[in-house]
Each structure stands twice: as C-alpha cells, then as structure tokens.
Amino acid sequence: MLVSTSRVYPVAPLNGLSFEETETRYSLRPTQSVAGASESGISEQFPLDGARSLYGMTKLAAELMVAEYGDAYGVRFVIDRCGLLTGPWQMARADQGVVAFWVAAHCLNRGLKYIGFGGTGKQVRDFLHIDDFCDLVLDQIANLDAYAGRHWNVGGGVANSLSLREATTLCQEVTGRTVDVVGSGENRPSDLRWYITDHRAVSAVRGWNPQRDARRTVADIAAWIDGQGSPLRDVIFG
C-alpha cells in the first residue's frame, strides 16, 4: 500500500479551472472543461500532464514504480492519493499540515499570514482526520482484492473543506482565542487556489466515508495541543 498525495496533480491545470469568488472562499463553477473536475472535487480522471512540485514529483515517481512492480511480479497494490491528512500528534509546519498549524497558532498565540491570491485567505483545501484515514486503510487491508490495482483519491471532500479564512473563524470558535492574521499578495510557484478531493470512487467500494467533521477535527487537535502545553511551541514554531 502506498500513501501518495493529491500533489501529484499538476498546479497550472488546477489553478486554471473556472472559479467564482464568494465572501469567504473560492468555489469551483459547476461546468468545467477539464476531465475529473466537478463540484464534488478532483477525481482520479484529472490529467497528470504538467508540473506539480518536487514533492509531488517524488510521489508520482513512487506510484509509477509500485505499478511497474505490480505488473512485472503480480504484486497486489493500493495507491491512496490523499488530500490533507491531519489530527492530533501532527507536528505541523506552515508548508506541511496547514490545518494543525492553524489550530496550533490559535492555541499558542502565534500570528498567521494569508499568503498569495490577493492575501484574502480564500484559497480552499479539504482535509481528513487521521482516524478516518486509518479506518479506510484497515478496510483496504482486510478487503485487498476489492481495492487492489487502483489509484484512489482519498480526502474529506466538500463537506470537510475550509478556506483559510473559514479555518480562522472555526479555530476562534473552538479555542475561544483570536490571533493576528495579516495578508500577503506574494504568490509562490506551487500554491493552489483550490483543491477538494472527490472521494466518490473509493467510497463506492465498500461504503467508507469520513465520519469526523471539520469542527470535530479542529477540536481534537486543540485538545491535544492544550494537553501538551508549552513544549510544543518550540517544536512547531521553533
């Protein structure tokens, strides 16, 4: 089993999709000209042509290697292209694990920054509680033949998606704390305006669906951070 990533999908085609801007987020318009893009998110049919990031490239290379071994030696395999995985015990950084990082900033009173896309914080990602992912992996192991030989897009989907702006509001509600957030119009090469996982294919296999919503996920992370106290400050923000 390979835990891959949604970052295998190329940046320019994703950012080139048709969006509308609402008060708190970017939303994908219902009609798209690119296969695999819909209001349900990005499916396994989204094209792979184009540059992604060095991280995404390494994951795609690993996918190709696994598939080659499967063909050459009859090895059964499952490839899960995961969106944002998060939850308690994630030692997050600003560039890896943004949900846990956002919660930690509120718990530990650190300022935050909306970077890119006008500095408004309207860029959107979906995320999946680590316990929901473990539930899926255990089912895949127990029922390998049902899942084997495929790439699956795995994530929280539309229901578990937040813009940075919305994440700030939710963190304030859950933690009861407010931190300074500033905007920066700086655009970085691999940043995405919007990515939501269309997990309908993997859900159709045996009925798996995320059970822990955004509020539960943020609350679980906040409870862990508050329980650990100040030592986490240097680990996450040092």
For residue range 38-65, list pLDDT tens digits in order: 999 999 999 999 999 999 999 999 999 9
d(CA 238, CA 220) in angstroms, rounded, equals 23
Q: Is the pTM of this model over 0.85?
A: yes
Res. 222: pLDDT tops 70: yes
- The pLDDT, as a whole number, for residue 235 is 80
The tokens describing 6, both together, are 């949604």
**Mean pLDDT for the stretch of residues 15-23:** 97
Average of per-residue pLDDT across 148-175 = 98
Label each residue of 148-182 as H, E or C. Answer: CCEEEEECCCHHHEEEHHHHHHHHHHHHCCCCCEE
In percent, how much of the chain has pLDDT > 90? 90
Q: Kindly report the three-state secondary structure assignment for every residue of 97-141.
A: CHHHHHHHHHHCCCCEEEECHHHCCCCEEEEEEHHHHHHHHHHHH
For the cut 70, the answer to whether the pLDDT of residue 138 exceeds it is: yes
Mean pLDDT of 163-182: 97
**What SS3 state is found at 59?**
helix
pLDDT at 224: 95
Give per-residue pLDDT as tens, 69-107. Answer: 999 999 999 999 999 999 999 988 877 899 999 999 999
Helix axes 98-107, 164-175, angle to 10 degrees: 40
Report domain 2-237's class: alpha beta
* Residue 179: per-residue pLDDT: 97
pLDDT band at 238 (very low <50, low <70, confident <90, very high): low
For the chain, the average pLDDT equals 95
Average pLDDT over every residue of 20-31: 95
Three-state secondary structure call for residue 55 = helix
The confidence score (pLDDT) of residue 143 equals 98
pLDDT at 230: 73
Positive or negative, the CA dihedral 157, 84, 191, 164 is positive
CB under 8 Å, gap of 24 or more: what pairs does 163-166 form? 163/24, 163/25, 163/26, 163/121, 163/122, 163/123, 163/124, 164/98, 164/102, 164/114, 164/121, 164/122, 164/123, 165/24, 165/25, 165/114, 165/120, 165/121, 165/122, 166/24, 166/25
Residue 234 pLDDT greater than 90, yes or no: no
